[in-house]
Structure 1
Amino acid sequence: MPQLNPNPWFSIMLLTWFTFSLLIQPKLLSFTPTNTPTNKTTTAKPSPWTWPWT
């Protein structure tokens, strides 16, 4: 079975992984997000629900 022979596929996987981690990933991480996150304003906590049967 060719799937069990790691000779060609392991080197292809390593080459792909190194290409992604060393070349592509820094380029992707350098982009700035278009919408910057802002802090939520804290609002007053709503009063608990009053159940009619209690």
Structure 2
Amino acid sequence: MPQLNPNPWFLIMLTSWMIFSLIIQPKLSSFTPTNSPSNKASITTKTSPWHWPWT
């Protein structure tokens, strides 16, 4: 079974994780969300219970 041989695939996996860890992840972490939830005012709404006709 060639898929159990880690020789060619281990280097590919290691390279992809290094690219993700060193290049892509810092770029994604530097983005800031434009609509942060802390700036929104919390609105509380009054809810009424539902009266089921069979109870």
Report what 2:43 is aligned to.
Answer: 41
How far the C-alpha of 1:48 sits from its partner, in A, is 1.6
Scaled by the length of structure 1, the TM-score of the pair is 0.68
- Structure 2's unaligned 5+ residue stretches are none
- Matching residue of 1:21: 21
SS in 2 for 1:27: helix
- Give the drift of 1:21: 1.3
* Aligned positions, number: 53
Q: Measured at CA, do residues 4 and 53 of structure 1 come closer, stay the same or move farther in structure 2, by a change above 3 Å?
A: closer
Structure with greater proportional helix content = 2
Q: CA deviation at 1:33?
A: 1.5
The sequence identity of aligned pairs, in percent, is: 72
The alignment's C-alpha RMSD in Å is 2.0
